[in-house]
Structure 1
Amino acid sequence: MPTPHPHNSGLKVNLNLATAVARNALFHGDTVVLDYPGGDLTFRELDNRAARLATVLADGGTRDGDRVAYLGLNSTAFFVTMLAAFRLGALFVPVNFRLAEPELAQVLDSSGSTVIVCEEGHRAAADRVRDRTSLARFLLVDDDPEIPAAGVPERDWEPWAALIADAEPTPYTVAKHADEPAILMFTSGTTGMPKGVVLSHGNAWWNAVNVELHLDTRRGDTTYAAAPLFHIGALNSFALRTLTRGGTVAVRRTFDPGRAADELIRLKVNSMFGVPQMFAALARVPGFFDHDLSELRAVVVAGAPVAPSLVSQYAERGLLLQQAWGLTETAPFATHLPAERTLDKAGSAGIPMPYTEVRVVDVLTHEPVEAGTRGEIVVRGPNVAAGYWNNAEATEAAYDAEGWFHSGDIGYLDDDGCLYVVDRLKDMIISGGENVYPAEVEHALATMPGVLDVAVVGVRDPQWGETVVAVITAAAGSKITLDDVRDHAASHLARYKLPRRLKIVETMPRNGSGKLDKPVLRQVAAEEQ
């Protein structure tokens, strides 16, 4: 048997996304790749702008392995910055624009970013923390009609429009292979300060392969990107693979339910990623379900627990929400529920993606458990990040010797191999010696009339150790009492799981990815009525 040449084995294939975009610019240059209210870009225009910005960055000293940060909402500038960094072999650092000042300083400092591309609305925040970072160059997006102009920028901010216009396109793209880092993305930080997840070019590519094999997506599709792109769910579910395969990304700065309801129909959108709250808001738009939604073939809901009632509400109107599960570390999907199983497996996060292994293991022994038994969900595969940025302790704690990533999520596999995610291990409530999983209680209360949003947390209790508290946002005119909550939940749950306290709030605290902000919720729940 002949020995394969290393360059024919696939190990040396260039997986740099910027190379794929350049290829699409060559063969499909006139296709609109970014549909954006501030100005559309074709593949040729996107590639050209990225190549020019790469020259600007290189002239300022950016090299292979450096980090380039982006601070702003969804826009074409986000993609231009990312592709320019990739062209040079630099790591792209998309920053959560909702971070508090200490978190923003920590992300920029720990990433070691030397350049930041920033929108006007976030420049002041960057200025307040710049002295605590390694930032040496500050580029300001000044050519987006969606961002109000604020006059001549202060200090050493450089408006990027003129720099890009005057630069010659960089004629090359650094080749990047599967294990080489591409994106440095920080976790949402609801259980502590954000950790930097190092996502490689291979992680992104293998997730795209998994999506390609599991979902009904096609070349030329339009995907709707309104969830924040600084999170991996929105970025790598459909947006990055659309750049690679050829198609259109409808980029929206934020999610507006009314506008989205119109545009999903008018643009004949084929795929969309969203958190449950986005789809719940869409369902409340008058007349949304009266339209033909048949073009929406791949609608993925993830990022937070999904109530089966929400899935049923859409299915009754002919639209199948496909639940998925994963984390930043899995880039993002580890499991996905195929459309044909949406109804009979409502509430399940699906089956493992084609090139991803998923197990449920005992929390203490880490040995696999039987079907139906709850334990920690662990994942292994080429879509899984290798570890955390400059954080050997966190990497060692999350990855075992066999390469399994320990997610910190609790779940179980049924007899058909479908995964059900119960809750976060750290969020589990121990009340009177019994384990209570907040997500299970939240699912039960989500079907209660008058409840718009619900969260369940545990707070210290002298009698029970912890007690279950329901935090609810109620519809206008609804008067919900603790007795109402307990009566409704009692038909779904054992009595020890029923809330013993109720807190009504006007808005539910959530982070940028749509996940419940549990530390804030615990503070709210612990406050006296």
Structure 2
Amino acid sequence: MTVELHDLLPAELRRSWVVDGTCPDLDLYSLFRARQIANLHQTAVLDAKGKLCYTALDRKVRCLAVGLRGLGIRPGDVVGVQLPNNRNAVIADLALAALGAVALPFPVGRGVLEAECLLRRAEGVAVIAAVEHRDFHHAADLLALSRSMPALRHVVAVGPGAAPEGTAAWSELMRSDPQAFVPARPDPDSAARILVSSGSEAEPKMIAYSHNALAGGRGNFLASLIPDGTPPRCLFLVPLASAFGSNGTAVTLARHGGTLVLLDHFTPDAALAAVREHEPTHVLGVPTMIRMMLERLDATGERLPVPTALVMGGAPLDETTAEAAAKAFGCPVVNLYGSADGVNCHTGLAHTVPPTDGTGVVAGHPDPRVAEIRIADPDTHAALPGGAVGEIISRGPMTPLCYVAAPDLDARYRTPDGWVRTGDLGYLDPDGVLHVVGRLKDIVIRGGANISPAEVERQLSSHPQVCDVVCVGVPDPLMGERLAACVVPRSGQTPTLEELRAHLTDRGLERQKHPERLLVVDALPLTPAGKPDRAALRERLTADLPATPAADPGPPLAQAS
């Protein structure tokens, strides 16, 4: 059985973006083939193995597609992909698109329980996984999992290393005859990829995207950051298997004919080496990654080749990081506000340092060729007037089809006419600039008073002794929750909790919002998707009760009804 993936947007609206040229109306593999034919020897991928041109990549894609078809993979089948950032992940992406199958990528390092949840709910018929990567043995783990999942018929094991008995060896599939392959040519408005987002749900959310939504909507986002139309050379610090990383194969290669520069694992030293060696036009990462790189550059004073843009998304960007990054990289810093659920807005190339307001870096001008944005009443979904704060909702060419096997999420996060509810609060100013001011749910409730961790993080990031910071709520028997600051100090400088609280007072943040615990760490733990791992920090704080407590900041604020 194939999972049902329906489109929650009106069909006539979806087709209107094809008619006006906003979306290309071609499947991802056909777009890629057009790029390959136009420039046979353009470099498609730069990874640890070196260069791979479009023609060589296409041959490998066809080999894999023939091999997968021989395993019984058919149009509409969901196939999981758990591979590191290298050429094999790109080959798998394109081969599945050429078969008309639906790719379900998730990053290496995610455990077998999450993999089971994803594959079972999406009715995955196969999964392509690494034999070994950084002490993980995903292929063997997934093979064991498949024995309790009748729908999961095949595990394709990708070396290096011997394929476990019972799996299909990638190396054998790649020996297939590429001449025998005839592409499926799926409907461009049909599902091509499922994006995974942890969000605030108990289980990861899965969101289905069509070929047009990826290459058209998301493709228009990257197009706005390519001033002269030259094919981009994009260094992806985030996993291609993440939502942010979905701008890799489908957008950078298939839509724009560019080059992917890939690291199989992020470290600040490897990322800086890639910038030096490959001179990317675009560097894409989360702010925490960039802060790690900036710390290395602070120590060496090195000047890097100047990219066209440094694009930061996946987490809020603070003013201090934006200014330091613009100075160090010498290019515009682009603040990307977006999510797997279907929202995108960014600050563009007009400013070297993105504009700010009283709450931090703004989100930028919405682009209707990517996603139109409105501000709505959270309860009625009715549009609010300009300047009013409400829930940010989004609809446009990049809008996904639906949530996968989750009608409850469709009902909760999509309006009857297809708008995506982000759960974020914001407003549009008189110039049409989007300002994000907080989350409907992402709050710490201390004694009945709501505290926004993002608000406190923005203010703490400007402290001279703070390199990076994440704030989380920790359980408390008296107040319900208390706020904790997890701080990476600058070299040789470790602030005390009292110093941080004094800084917040100077910045005008009321005392009841100050952190009451401090955890100092050498580096923030990252999730497999490259974002700060708040759950790991919360777990450490919960276990580490002696972590520095503050004097009680006073009684809880009265909560308005």
CA distance in 1, matches of 2:386, 2:83: 44
CA distance in 1, matches of 2:173, 2:77: 20
Could you say if the C-alpha distance between residues 153 and 226 of structure 1 is closer, same or farther in structure 2, counting changes exceeding 3 Å? Answer: same
**1:9-158 maps to which residues of 2 (within 5 A)?**
9=19, 14-121=25-132, 122-133=138-149, 134-142=151-159, 147=160, 149=161, 152-158=162-168
Could you say if the C-alpha distance between residues 13 and 305 of structure 1 is closer, same or farther in structure 2, counting changes exceeding 3 Å? Answer: closer
CA distance in 2, matches of 1:76, 1:275: 22
CA drift of 1:10 comes to 7.3
Q: TM-score with structure 1 length normalisation?
A: 0.89
CA drift of 1:253 comes to 0.9
Amino acid at match of 2:333: L
Amino acid at match of 2:154: R
Could you say if the C-alpha distance between residues 268 and 507 of structure 1 is closer, same or farther in structure 2, counting changes exceeding 3 Å? Answer: closer
Could you say if the C-alpha distance between residues 420 and 463 of structure 1 is closer, same or farther in structure 2, counting changes exceeding 3 Å? Answer: farther
CA drift of 1:488 comes to 1.0
**1:377-388 maps to which residues of 2 (within 5 A)?**
377-388=392-403
**1:172-187 maps to which residues of 2 (within 5 A)?**
172-187=182-197
Could you say if the C-alpha distance between residues 125 and 411 of structure 1 is closer, same or farther in structure 2, counting changes exceeding 3 Å? Answer: farther
Bigger Cα displacement from structure 2, 104-113 vs 163-172 = 163-172
CA distance in 2, matches of 1:24, 1:51: 15
RMSD over aligned CA atoms reads: 2.7
Task: Give the match for residue 292 of structure 2.
Answer: 281
CA distance in 1, matches of 2:350, 2:249: 20
CA distance in 2, matches of 1:79, 1:178: 19
Bigger Cα displacement from structure 2, 69-78 vs 14-23 = 14-23
Give a deviation string over 1:289-326, Cα, whole Å, max 9, x none: 643533x1122100001111011112334322100111
CA distance in 2, matches of 1:23, 1:103: 37
Match of 1:340, SS state, is coil
Amino acid at match of 2:209: L
Which of 362, 365, 369 is 1:351 aligned to? 365
CA drift of 1:190 comes to 5.8
Task: Give the match for residue 256 of structure 1.
Answer: 267
Give a deviation string over 1:60-81, Cα, whole Å, max 9, x none: 2111101222112111111111
CA drift of 1:433 comes to 4.7
Report whether the alignment pairs 1:494 with 2:500.
no
On the 8 A contact 2:471/2:486 being kept in 1, the answer is yes
Task: Give the match for residue 327 of structure 1.
Answer: 339
Bigger Cα displacement from structure 2, 70-79 vs 183-192 = 183-192
Could you say if the C-alpha distance between residues 279 and 344 of structure 1 is closer, same or farther in structure 2, counting changes exceeding 3 Å? Answer: closer
Match of 2:402, SS state, is coil
CA drift of 1:87 comes to 1.1
Report whether the alignment pairs 1:199 with 2:209.
yes
Which of 397, 413, 416 is 1:401 aligned to? 416
Q: TM-score with structure 2 length normalisation?
A: 0.84
CA distance in 1, matches of 2:428, 2:517: 32
Bigger Cα displacement from structure 2, 208-217 vs 227-236 = 208-217
Task: Give the match for residue 291 of structure 1.
Answer: 303
Could you say if the C-alpha distance between residues 203 and 301 of structure 1 is closer, same or farther in structure 2, counting changes exceeding 3 Å? Answer: same
CA drift of 1:197 comes to 0.8
Give a deviation string over 1:219-261, Cα, whole Å, max 9, x none: 3331112311111212316863333322221122122322322
On the 8 A contact 1:215/1:338 being kept in 2, the answer is no
CA drift of 1:510 comes to 3.2
On the 8 A contact 1:13/1:177 being kept in 2, the answer is no
Match of 1:218, SS state, is coil
On the 8 A contact 1:423/1:438 being kept in 2, the answer is no
Could you say if the C-alpha distance between residues 256 and 226 of structure 1 is closer, same or farther in structure 2, counting changes exceeding 3 Å? Answer: same
Aligned residues: 514
Report whether the alignment pairs 1:270 with 2:281.
yes
Which of 504, 519, 524 is 1:503 aligned to? 519
Could you say if the C-alpha distance between residues 179 and 324 of structure 1 is closer, same or farther in structure 2, counting changes exceeding 3 Å? Answer: same
CA distance in 2, matches of 1:103, 1:293: 39
Amino acid at match of 1:235: S
Amino acid at match of 1:386: L
Amino acid at match of 2:202: G
Which of 205, 220, 226 is 2:231 aligned to? 220
Match of 2:246, SS state, is helix
Give a deviation string over 1:441-496, Cα, whole Å, max 9, x none: 00111122332332212344565554322222334543432211110111221222
The answer for unaligned runs of 5 or more in structure 2 is 1-14, 133-137, 547-561
CA drift of 1:343 comes to 3.4
Match of 2:208, SS state, is strand
Amino-acid identity (%) = 26
CA drift of 1:353 comes to 2.1
- Report runs of 4+ in structure 1 exceeding 6 Å deviation: 10-13
CA drift of 1:41 comes to 1.7
On the 8 A contact 1:222/1:271 being kept in 2, the answer is yes
The answer for unaligned runs of 5 or more in structure 1 is 1-5
CA distance in 2, matches of 1:465, 1:359: 34
Report whether the alignment pairs 1:245 with 2:256.
yes
Which of 168, 171, 174 is 1:164 aligned to? 174
Task: Give the match for residue 3 of structure 1.
Answer: none
